[in-house]
Amino acid sequence: MTMVVCIIAGGKAMAVVAGVFTLGWTHSVEKTEWQERWSPTAKGLVLQEARVQGSGAGMEPGDGAHREGKWWVWTPSLEPVPELVLAASGATVSGWRLCDADGCRELGRQTQTPLVLRPCD
């Protein structure tokens, strides 16, 4: 059974993501890309992989990182989290890019309340 993730803003579900998804963004200072692959489970959201194109200003690759082309890639060792809260200030270089099997969408490019991603029924 595929778990579903709800994307909530201002108390309303905006969209749903089925199964594994990738969350990406451009760092506001370094202007480099960061991506994380997440999987919804009954225990919460599990971070399966992280990747970054550079380092600096808080964007250092994690323990055990290795190069894959232009990316530093690693597998974080974290417990599942109940939800992700994404700021949406409208003042950064880009919004959040959320990609799943149905394609990609940009979230939080405009100023709005924080976005919440969490497993849902």
The pLDDT tens digits for 3-35 are: 788 888 777 777 677 789 999 988 665 567 889
DSSP β-bridge partners for residue 17: 5
Q: What is the pLDDT of residue 115?
A: 84
What is the spatial distance between Cα 26 and Cα 39, in angstroms, rounded to a whole number? 21
pLDDT of 109 over the 70 cut: no
Cβ-contact 28, 97 below 8 angstroms = no
- The more confidently predicted of residues 82 and 87 is 82
What count of other Cβ atoms lies within 10 Å of the Cβ of residue 72?
A: 19
Residue 94 has pLDDT above 80, yes or no: no
Q: What is the pTM of this model?
A: 0.84
For residue 27, what pLDDT is reported?
66
What are the residue boundaries of the structural domains of the chain, listed by start? Answer: 4-119
Give the separation between CA 69 and CA 64, rounded to whole angstroms: 16
Tokens standing for residue 106 = 């940009």
Q: With 80 as the cut, is the pLDDT of residue 78 above it? A: yes
Angstrom distance (rounded) from CA 92 to CA 31? 10
- Return mean pLDDT, the chain: 83
